[in-house]
A and B are shown apart, each in its own frame.
Chain A
């Protein structure tokens, strides 16, 4: 068991002929992810690592009706069109890897997907991995061992870093979800944590936040009101970030007095969620709460 993706996940790759799209199609296939088809407008008819390429999502779904998930590598100016096409074709889980998607496009397609009961993960995210069943993402898979810890993160590389450090101490992952580093994203901490609550394979959850917005504060409040919960350990990136500056991620900025690392760490502590100062402290804190 896992959340969002497992061995029944059948994947479409949008933007499959691009540099990143084709490279990660190969890596996902090697991992064992079932990739049935790909789409790049104007490139239909060819094959990328034995995966048939179509011009449109609709053609791909017609030939492979089992497809239930899409991963999007399409460049930012065209990402909105790709996501809406996937939603219209009836897909219910769409993982958007693309970085630097305009906020106004994100606001539109996130709301469009919600109105049609489709779930968007990302944009600007590393995707999802449920070891050893499926990987719909770009993470270096060998760092993720199978196990009972759920991982939710706003950062890609920090997700890998934490998975690696957990593995070294004998902890594996049920599912790791990179929710994305933009200010506007499809799915947040609360929604993913709620899925982990119902997942039998998950015993505890690691939440990796960063400066900007108040998603961590809202999660802490939600968590403290829950009657039945699974333990959480948190980590926050950006303690040393200068105020008012955007730290790489579009969403990582302390602005209008909201979003500081201090405020997030305090909110976790108030909700009795232990916060790791160093990445290496995370396994030890898990040991305590489990």
Chain B
């Protein structure tokens, strides 16, 4: 889960990391009140969770009240990558002498946190990596030892500043405390008083840790649409795409392949719905309900291969949903694996036919929505 910049900065403040004074505004009056207390020049930043807000005009500067009113209004009326801007961060614009980069990420290959640092901040780290990888300092932190004094000495030496070691120490504490997948300060600025300031803050919390990161669990709901909320509550994975064939499958790999095969036959998947391992009839019922209610789906492709998932549970869920919600949407089902015979019997009793092949089922559903 990605946090808003203002949320990350609140956490930074708690850990005594220097951030420019700021407040969060949902309208022009709130923005003016914040500006009054912190003083100009001000930077206004759209609070959205998608990247590329700078390029979209979601970051603007103001030197007086009238500029602030005009620009705040503009940003609050914006959509960035389809997401409506609901609030802005109104912050003191720092006097920046130099921009640096510092982050801690969960690195898949190293199976460990890795610190990334660069003396050239302000641009995306991927850009720096493309232009000149030698400018990026990388340091693995063994999860068994955690951050040690020698790590701090290494980062101090790289930047030639003692206060960066102290900053990294605080960042690592946040990284651990909040189960971060990513914690990035870019740019990390040196201001006119030669102090370090976190001008921006990016923080992503590992979704699997939310059972113990309870502050953020409830927050997730407000970015989700009605179907995503059902999925979250019922414990299955649901991702929107843009086509018209709803996909229900089990296991991420098979669900992706089910989408892929629809696309290879010329169809367009509406979504990715993975009921997961060992899904109950109730989960399947809710999964099918989403597809039946979804305004974009014209057809539904159910592709189940039971391992930990039992076909009889799946069949019960399908029957319950179809009895409750009458539909004209075309449905293709292919189902095999654990307790397959029991599952087939349940569906046969209701006159529901199964496909033997995933490819045939895909072809049929693609044809039927054309």
Contact = CB atoms under 8 A, between A and B. Distances in A.
Contacts of B111: 106-107, 110-111, 184
Interface string A219-249: 0000000000000000001111110011111
A125 to B, nearest CB: 10
B260 to A, nearest CB: 5
A48 interface: no
The 7 lowest CB-CB distance pairs between A and B, nearest first, are A155-B253, A248-B252, A157-B251, A157-B254, A158-B253, A249-B252, A102-B209
A264 interface: no
A19 interface: yes
Nearest to B237: A248
A211 interface: yes
B108 A247 contact: no
Main secondary structure of the interface of B (DSSP, over half): mixed
A126 interface: yes
Contacts of B276: 99, 248
A278 B261 contact: yes
B203 interface: no
B337 interface: yes
Contacts of B109: 213-215, 218
A240 B269 contact: yes
Interface string B196-221: 00000000001111011000000000
Interface residues of A, number: 64
B262 interface: yes
A250 B1 CA distance: 12
A155 B305 CA distance: 12
Interface stretch (A4-12, A33-41, A135-143): A135-143
Contacts of B261: 278-279
Contacts of A157: 249-251, 253-254, 305, 307
B154 interface: no
Interface of A: 19-20, 24, 27, 76-77, 97, 99-104, 106-108, 110-112, 115, 126, 138-140, 143, 153-158, 160-161, 164, 181, 183-184, 208, 210-211, 213-215, 218, 237-242, 245-252, 256-257, 277-280
Given A214-B109, A248-B256, 8 more contacts: A76-B211, A103-B209, A155-B252, A156-B277, A181-B253, A211-B256, A247-B255, A278-B359
B131 interface: no
Nearest to B247: A240
A290 to B, nearest CB: 24
18 contacts: A100-B207, A101-B208, A107-B112, A108-B143, A126-B308, A138-B308, A140-B337, A154-B253, A157-B307, A158-B251, A160-B337, A213-B109, A218-B109, A237-B257, A240-B260, A242-B239, A248-B276, A278-B261
A157 B109 CA distance: 24
B181 interface: yes
B294 to A, nearest CB: 16
Contacts of A111: 111-112, 142-144
B109 to A, nearest CB: 7
A250 B208 contact: yes
A79 to B, nearest CB: 10
Contacts of B257: 158, 161, 237, 279
